[in-house]
């Protein structure tokens, strides 16, 4: 694989919505139907209570979106709704960088906990979240359209 030269974390712009929607379809929602289409992602980018974050990478002289994440901030709890890294760029710390950035923002926003749901068969993501301090608090059979189970995971932000 070519050398990953830079990885810059920045806020998403509405013009990024189509590529993020395709990443969601291909890397997160595969086999479940496509819920996060460009219009829904555009609405998320514009929503005041949501941060959509992008990891822009430079690889072999080209810049492109290598990963992204979306978090909704509530009064004392934040919800991670989307997170994906391009398959060729995984295990280079990009997912961790995105999530740590969001942890800091959630603390500053006054949130105590972060919550997320992950497909029960997504062993890689469950391992990733555990590594970043999340724990599985409940198993949700049929969570995805009655077809697939999820785990609810949470992380207390008091821990570094």
Ligand X SMILES: CC(C)(COP(=O)(O)OP(=O)(O)OC[C@H]1O[C@@H](n2cnc3c(N)ncnc32)[C@H](O)[C@@H]1OP(=O)(O)O)[C@@H](O)C(=O)NCCC(=O)NCCS
Residues of this chain that bind ligand X (CB under 6 A): 27-28, 83-85, 90-96, 116, 118, 122, 124-125, 127-128, 131
Q: Kindly report the CA angle at 85 between 147 and 44, in degrees rounded to 5? A: 70
When the beta carbons of 27 and 37 are compared against ligand X, the nearer one is 27
**Residue 52 DSSP one-character state:** E
Smallest gap from Cβ 20 to ligand X, in A, equals 13
Q: Are strands 135-144 and 4-11 parallel, antiparallel or unpaired?
A: unpaired
When the beta carbons of 61 and 87 are compared against ligand X, the nearer one is 87
Q: Which residue is nearest to ligand X (CB)?
A: 95
Smallest gap from Cβ 150 to ligand X, in A, equals 9
Distance CA 83, CA 20 (A): 10
Backbone angles phi, psi at 155, to 5 degrees: -140, 130
When the beta carbons of 110 and 139 are compared against ligand X, the nearer one is 139
Backbone angles phi, psi at 90, to 5 degrees: -70, 155
Smallest gap from Cβ 47 to ligand X, in A, equals 19
């Amino acid at each position: 694989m070519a050398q990953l030269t830079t990885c810059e974390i920045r806020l998403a712009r509405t013009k990024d919505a189509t590529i993020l929607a395709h990443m969601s379809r291909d890397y997160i929602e595969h086999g479940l139907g496509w819920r996060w289409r460009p219009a829904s992602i555009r609405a998320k980018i514009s929503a005041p209570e949501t941060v959509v974050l992008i990891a822009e990478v430079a690889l072999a002289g080209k810049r492109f979106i290598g990963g992204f994440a979306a978090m909704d901030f509530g009064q004392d709890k934040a919800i991670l709704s989307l997170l994906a890294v391009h398959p060729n760029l995984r295990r280079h710390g990009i997912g961790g960088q995105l999530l740590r950035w969001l942890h800091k923002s959630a603390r500053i926003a006054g949130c105590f906990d972060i919550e997320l749901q992950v497909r029960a068969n997504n062993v890689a993501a469950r391992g990733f979240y555990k590594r970043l301090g999340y724990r599985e608090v409940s198993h949700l059979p049929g969570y995805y359209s009655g077809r697939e189970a999820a785990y609810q995971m949470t992380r207390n932000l008091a821990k570094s």
